[in-house]
Amino acid sequence: MVASQTETFVVSDIGTCLLLKLCGFVEAQRAVIRDVSENHLRLRLGSHWIEQLLGANASGHPLDLEILFAPLESIDDSRRQARVQIVVRDALYYSRPERFEAAAKRILWHFRSHLMVHSAAG
């Protein structure tokens, strides 16, 4: 069974602002885009041990992220918001739960601060 963590956030969605924030997150984390569509983004962060040995990528514990986003109903057009759900999965075949937990916690913290999250969604 693959270890995973899921969190849901509410963020501002003004024009293309959310997409620009997501692009900035991808660039800051040096993530590899695996799949993208109108309402989701699939990423790979970090590298496998063989890549680290070869010096190809030294960015840490490998994680797979799936980011799902959808607009929220709003009464006022000036305060548009979106619900963003992020699922973090361990990308290592032989996982070490303590390393995954630390890496997932770190990436979720970076995600929250990068998107300037208002609150967790219910």
Question: What are the tens digits of pLDDT across the range 48-78?
Answer: 555 544 444 445 788 999 999 888 887 666 6
Q: For residue 78, list its beta bridge partners.
A: none
Burial 48-78 (b: 16+ CB within 10 A, else e): beeeeeeeebeebbbbbbbbbbeeeeeeeee
Q: What value, to the nearest 5°, has the Cα angle with vertex 24 and ends 101 and 114?
A: 50
- What mean pLDDT is reported for the chain? 82
DSSP 8-state secondary structure symbol assigned to residue 78: G
User: How many residues are given for the chain?
Assistant: 122
Domains of the chain: 4-120 (3.30.310.80)
Q: For the whole model, what pTM was predicted?
A: 0.79
Position 56 scores a pLDDT of 47
Dist. CA 21–CA 2, nearest whole Å = 28
Position 33 scores a pLDDT of 93
Q: Which of 15, 6, 22, 26 is nearest to 81 (CA)?
A: 15
Pick the residue with more confidence: 44 or 116? 44
State mean pLDDT over 23-31: 90
